[in-house]
Structure 1
Amino acid sequence: MADGTCIFCAIADGQEAASVVYEDETVVAFLDRFPVTRGHLLVVPRAHAVGLEDLDVATGAHIWEVGRELARALRRSSIPSDGVNVLLCDGEAAYQTVFHFHLHVIPRTAGDGWTDLTHETPERERSLLDDEARAIRRALAIGRG
């Protein structure tokens, strides 16, 4: 928003309009105003968190559980949904544009026109993958220690 207020905080507080499909004390889920496909949902924690690093474990787990339930609901709804993308954009380099954590739940159909996720990637050498795996395991140990 122009005044620097977080739009998702305003939606979670009921100060900004949204087409809410689910809410509880921890999260609010609503339709994206700029949907990739019809039925594109966002699951947002009520407490402000910029990215994954800012979420506590319980809130993060709850967001994913709500996202799973919404994906199931989309598949059972009248909105066309032959598949579902569950997407997280964490950081500007990952295309995050609203800096309040949000999980996208996007219903998909063949030929829906959204193809930006698909591109050819070369196979990575095993030694490079192993090096990266070690680096991530070390970081996991640091985070748990």
Structure 2
Amino acid sequence: MIVVVVDRLSLRLVPDELRELVEPLIPAFTPRPQGGGTAPLDPRQVFTAIVYVLTSGCAWRDLPPSFGVPFQTAHRRFTLRTEAGPWRALHRVLLDELGSHGLLDWSRAIVDGASVRAKKGISDRSQPGRPR
């Protein structure tokens, strides 16, 4: 039996509405074949711990114990989920949900060119000695 204690920080990071959207997209956990680390953990606690690390910028090792998830477990499940690919689907679901409630205004969207990689074969003109 899994006992879940949801505190205010957890509810702020992953409110019930977000959890309902996310649950179908998160792959079910399967125990590791070598055993160990199979204590039942609530999927919401694990997801909330992952969200905390990703939004706070802290290191996995610095995950507060109050989340009830060992940092090793949070990191391993994040890695497994990343390989399974639910993050893009989650992003799409969240954008669709926000758009359906009129909370997105695409006319005000900004593309940050600093985060977009240059096309292959295009050189960096800022290099010294390069013609402009």
TM range (shorter): 0.3 to 0.5
Which structure is larger by alpha-carbon Rg, 1 or 2?
Answer: 2
TM-score by length of 1: 0.31
Q: Greater helix percent: which structure?
A: 2
